[in-house]
Amino acid sequence: MTNPTGPRVRPDTARRLHGIALEAQTSGRVPALFAGVQRGGELLWSAGIGAHGAGRHRDRAATAHDQYLVASNTKTFTAVMVMQARDEGLLDLDDPLGQHLPGASPTPEHEVTVRSALAHVSGMQREPHGDVWKTLAFPEADQLVTEYARAERVGRPHTRWHYSNLMYCLLGEMVAQLDGCSWEESLQRRLLDPLGLRDTTVGFTHPTRLPVQGYFVPPFTDVPVAEPVPDFRGTAPCGGLASTPADMARWSAFVAQPDEAVLHPDTLEEMTQPQTVVDPRGWTVTMGLGFFLVRSGKRILVGHTGGMPGHITGVFTHRESGTGGLAFMNSTSAPDPMALAVELAGALEEAEPAAGAPWTPGSSVPEELEELLGHWYTEGSHVIFSVREGKLEARMAGAGPDVPPAVFEHVEEDLYRTVSGRERGELLRVVRRQDGSVRQLSWATYLVSREPLAFGRRPR
């Protein structure tokens, strides 16, 4: 059974996307797979392949409005909440996590920073204390805090990536305590209400949306076995959300271009900078602050995967184009959701690339920038300074169109700060002759001259 959406992409593109999804569903023996690609929060193509549900819904194909347990995709929500609190001045990323968790009483061995917890480089054990995945009896939030001192450090901080659900449970509780309410209430106020994510809930608690039944498909039979639904309790911040593909498409669009009223775009950019390498052999996956970064050809996609009994999901976004790939599967032993979501997004981008912004003429060139424009040289390399939308930019000659320019902001007379691109954060100084004309520039202390010069030579 297949339930595709209407033709928002070309027929050949739809056939390619459907082929990718169908191969995953059949090879992975997934009872019901929902796959989609989004731009601007709208699903341009999607298909529910197979059938799911229970009772009278058993033979219905998955739709964009059915709820799956999105599991560890929840971590991207929790991470954004932490960064919101940081931007509000409630914490610093390099604060000890225990500083904001009264009652945790961590020993020096247990003390980790908020940043290391977000990036999974804290060195702390993966799961809360006890055999929670054997019993599916998850602790309450206050128990997680008081039992933190019993957790084991399994590695030195910042030496390697080690995934920790425990750290995200505590990060969520930290935000809750800073906000003076439960994590669920904080999530609702900070993200779900402002972004209109009305079909996203903690667990299957939505009053009307159909919960997708999760299954385990045994390796030697074709008869699925229904999986239980955990009671997440205090572990909800690390993996307790249920959501629909339609809502997660909107979340993917937010990750591509955040609403500044919810999270400043610079903060989302900060979150999607690599903090550590996840696969030190392949160097194709890194970890940011709450987001995986995946290299696929020349593209970098950011997002997360999720795994719960009977539910495997992946949502990954190419931020530059705003294209997101989504994969929702109701089987414990499903295909790699990261690979599937990334392949879907890449297939759309290759077949029907997102339209770029048109070039628009500027209105004026600031007088103080006129002498800085044109051809310069630094460290033997050719660099071109120009003005776009009234701001000074610099591009290395020959750089591809996908390489962003360095952009400068005025600090004071003859002094500029690099705010993005090459040498971000560094100063650009204008050095003048006695007659007031520009002799040279100094960028991150390196000489920038009108003619190519060897080191140690001075411009005329």
pLDDT tens profile 78-100: 999 999 999 999 999 999 999 99
Cβ atoms of 421 and 405 within 8 Å: the answer is yes
pLDDT (tens digit per residue) in 340-372: 999 999 999 999 999 888 888 988 899 999 999
Helix (H) or strand (E) holding 442: strand 438-443
- How far apart are alpha carbons 271 and 257 in whole angstroms? 13
Q: Of the candidates 259, 347, 337, 254, which has an alpha carbon nearest to the alpha carbon of residue 299? A: 347
Whole-angstrom CA distances from 70 to 40, 67, 446 are: 21, 9, 49
Q: Out of 45-54, 322-331, 426-435, 439-448, which region has the weakest mean confidence (pLDDT)?
A: 45-54
Give the pLDDT confidence of 139-152 residue by residue, as tens digits. Answer: 888 888 988 888 88
User: For the segment 26-37, what is each residue's pLDDT rounded down to a tens digit?
Assistant: 999 999 999 999
Give the per-residue pLDDT at 438. 95
| Dist CA 77 CA 89 (whole Å) | 19
Give CATH 2.40.128.50 domain extents, the chain: 367-448
pLDDT of residue 3: 55
Query: 3-state class of 434 per DSSP?
Result: coil
Structure tokens of 336?
Answer: 């790699």
- Beta strands 285-287 and 201-202 are unpaired
User: Cα(303)–Cα(287) distance, rounded to whole angstroms?
Assistant: 10
What is the topology classification, in CATH, of domain 2-351? Beta-lactamase (3.40.710)
Ordered strands of the 68-71 beta sheet: 68-71, 241-243, 201-202
Question: For the chain, how many residues are written?
Answer: 460
**Which SS3 state, helix, strand or coil, does residue 143 take?**
helix
Residue 396 and residue 412: Cα distance in Å, rounded?
25
**pLDDT digit string, tens, across residues 109-149:** 778 999 999 999 999 999 887 778 888 778 888 888 988 88
What is the CATH class of 367-448?
mainly beta
CATH 3.40.710.10 boundaries in the chain: 2-351
| Mean of per-residue pLDDT scores for the chain | 93
CA–CA distance, 130 with 293 (Å, rounded to integer): 31
